[in-house]
Amino acid sequence: MVVDSHSLVPAISIAPVRALRSNVCDLLVVKPDKSLLLLTHGLHEIPLSLRNPDAFGGVLSVKDGVESSVSIQFVNKNTSRITINLVPKDTLTHQALMLLSLSLPADFFFTIHHRFLFKWSLKNYSSVDNVTFRAFRDALLETLQLLDTSIFSSLTAAQA
């Protein structure tokens, strides 16, 4: 057996976390420029930014990843334990994402998942009033290029 590397991701520290999917670990990576990203769905990168005052100057290391929690040491030597849990809480969105992950090509599913996370982040990851499912719906329709059709445009306008 031969293991071949097709891609390299520069990192100064890594830790496993269950951040995006409840049954799969992703890697939380500290890049040489002190920024954070999640390596997910293979080698797809999702940049992360922290709303933590200690994050000024960047992240020095991550360690002790357990489920969705990880310890982060900042450049100023302060350490915090944070939880990165971006798994949708509502059952419909969670199950729809799981079903699509099993039935679509990996790169296409990643595009949907990434768009969903971006749209959900614009709503501060809210779980109220179907915000999560609407973000998923919009990401799916946008990825399938169905958002501009008259049926879906009127549906979206009526629900807004």
* pLDDT tens, position by position, 8-57: 778 888 899 988 887 888 888 998 988 888 888 777 888 888 877 666 77
Cα 102 to Cα 40, 99, 105, 106, 144, distances in angstroms: 15, 5, 8, 9, 17
pTM recorded for the entire structure = 0.76
Which of the two residues, 139 and 22, has the higher pLDDT score? 139
For residues 55-66, average pLDDT: 82
